[in-house]
């Protein structure tokens, strides 16, 4: 959004239209977007569209902050109560002592009049931290409403009571400025309106504008895929599998590189998403159990237990019930079964490669058979694997004699004769 406003300013655009359909988002991202809108020298029109779309939670704040707030028919906004994700703080116990108000009444029969401030209807429910969050959010959206001349009372209700409105009701209550059937209708309705942009009045001329549609770039699309709650377990699985294969078969390099990249991407996604670390631990334990089944066959106990732990960990991995952060249970179950089969296959391939005879290096040379090219003493030369090598033997060697390599000393092979008269190998 910030890049889009900057590009619009550099290209001398008349307006920026933000077409929005969102269940909400993080408070920090919302405030960054709102600050960009308020500081924009180009008018920003937020348009909740198409029909059936919504501007829930953080979307309501963005709608209030825009220079012009518009909605398509059959759209909604509201439910702007902030919700903590990733686990909350435990509720503080109430004090056993009564809380007195500053203006206590004295001198009346029965002693001082005491009042529990937590019984006030205007105070939000919950612990002290929750009250701070809700009060801050209510003051924030009320300030946005006053700045744009919109209904501040309903804005506070959207925060404190999670109130929602349809597009027609929002127009009637002065929550939004207009209802438009499509973008062309929107441009026609705002043509000729005068807005105050950074302290200066500006009349819009939008009837015959050329529209340029700006879609999310590849970076935003990539990040949206990585931070999908269903993708996070896949990244963790690929990362662990890659590192396991690299450790079992050193020198292959590619699995280790891809595994490290996937694990780093998973760590990035876990930083953005409200991750439950117990779920992450269960995923890691499940992968370890499935790996143990490949090395220590337990008639399926470790493998099945690992698959179950992986599925449960994936289900509870995202610690919130907020819409848009859910994990598909059928997908997770299928992924757990696939992981068990895939891990068994990877370990089997790695162990098979590990048990193959060595075909290169010094280890391969030990035990190889060669033919003596020239003899007469204990040092000579032999031909082995189509190469000529200098050799040393405890006994004199004869030309044509067949010898076996016992050891390697630098570039000299230490050999022993197989037969004493030469000829073919017995």
- Least Cα distance to 373 among 346, 398, 339, 347 occurs for 398
Residues 372 and 238 in one domain: no
Q: What is the pLDDT of residue 298?
A: 58
What digits encode the pLDDT tens for the residues 19-72?
Answer: 999 988 888 889 999 999 999 999 999 999 999 999 999 999 999 999 999 999
Phi, psi angle pair for 178, to nearest 5°:
-165, 160
Query: Of the candidates 355, 387, 409, which is a domain's last residue?
Result: 355
Which one from 51, 104, 132, 328 is the annotated catalytic residue? 132
Token look-up 């935003």 returns 220
Choosing from 355, 384, 409, the residue where a domain stops is: 355
**pLDDT tens-digit map of 265-276:** 888 887 777 777
The reply to whether 301 and 346 lie within a common domain is: yes
Give yes or no for a contact between 286 and 306, defined as CB atoms under 8 angstroms apart.
yes
Taking only the tens place, the pLDDT of each residue in 284-337 is 888 788 777 666 765 567 777 887 888 888 878 776 555 556 677 787 788 777
95 within some domain? no
Is 132 a residue of the active site?
yes
Question: Could you tell me the CATH number of the domain that includes residue 394?
Answer: 2.40.50.140
pLDDT at 403 over 90: no
Who has greater pLDDT, 342 or 265? 265
> What's the pLDDT band for 169 if we cut at 50, 70, 90?
very high
Catalytic-residue membership of 120 = no
- Residue 369 pLDDT more than 60? yes
Out of 57, 66, 167, 380, the active site residue is 57
Query: By residue range, what is the domain housing residue 167?
Result: 2-87+123-203
Shared domain for 367 and 408, answered yes or no, is: yes
pTM for the model stands at: 0.60
Asked if residue 410 belongs to a domain, the reply is: yes
Residue 285 covered by a domain: yes
What DSSP letter does each residue of 245-257 carry, written as one string?
Answer: HHHHSTT--HHHH
Counting the structural domains of the chain, the total is 3
């Amino acid at each position: 959004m910030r890049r889009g406003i900057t590009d619009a300013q550099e290209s001398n655009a008349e307006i920026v239209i933000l077409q929005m359909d969102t269940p909400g988002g993080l408070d920090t991202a919302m405030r960054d977007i709102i600050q960009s809108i308020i500081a924009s020298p180009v008018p920003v029109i937020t348009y909740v569209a198409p029909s059936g779309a919504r501007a829930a939670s953080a979307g309501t704040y963005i709608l209030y902050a825009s220079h012009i707030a518009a909605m398509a028919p059959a759209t909604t906004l509201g439910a702007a109560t902030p919700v903590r994700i990733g686990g909350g703080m435990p509720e503080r116990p109430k004090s056993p002592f009564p809380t007195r108000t500053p203006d206590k009444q004295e001198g009346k029969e029965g002693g001082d009049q005491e009042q529990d401030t937590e019984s006030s209807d205007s105070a939000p429910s919950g612990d002290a931290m929750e009250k701070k969050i809700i009060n801050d959010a209510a003051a924030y959206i009320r300030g946005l409403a006053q700045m744009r001349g919109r209904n501040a009372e309903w804005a506070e209700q959207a925060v404190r009571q999670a109130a929602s409105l349809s597009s027609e009701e929002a127009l009637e209550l002065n929550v939004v400025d207009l209802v438009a059937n499509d973008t062309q209708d929107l441009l026609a309705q705002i043509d000729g309106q005068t807005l105050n942009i950074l302290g200066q009045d500006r009349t819009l001329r939008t009837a015959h504008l050329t529209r340029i549609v700006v879609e999310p770039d590849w970076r935003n699309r990539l990040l949206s895929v990585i931070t999908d709650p269903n993708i996070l377990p896949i990244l963790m699985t690929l990362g662990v599998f890659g590192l396991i294969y690299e450790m079992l078969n050193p020198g292959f390099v590619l699995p280790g590189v891809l595994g490290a990249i996937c694990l780093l991407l998973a760590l990035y996604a876990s930083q953005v998403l409200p991750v439950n670390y117990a779920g992450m631990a269960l995923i890691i334990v499940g992968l370890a159990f499935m790996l143990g089944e490949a090395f220590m066959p337990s008639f399926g106990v470790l493998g099945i237990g690992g698959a179950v732990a992986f599925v449960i960990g994936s289900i509870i991995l995202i610690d919130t019930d907020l819409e848009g952060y859910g994990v598909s249970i059928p997908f997770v179950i299928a992924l757990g079964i696939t992981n068990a089969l895939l891990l068994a296959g990877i370990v089997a391939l790695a162990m098979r490669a590990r048990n193959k005879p060595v075909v290169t290096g010094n280890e391969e040379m030990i035990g190889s058979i060669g033919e003596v090219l020239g003899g007469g003493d204990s040092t000579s030369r032999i031909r082995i694997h189509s190469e000529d090598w200098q050799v040393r033997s405890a006994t004199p060697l004869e030309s044509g004699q067949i010898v076996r390599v016992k050891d390697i000393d630098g570039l000299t092979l230490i050999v022993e004769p197989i037969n004493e008269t030469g000829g073919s190998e017995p």
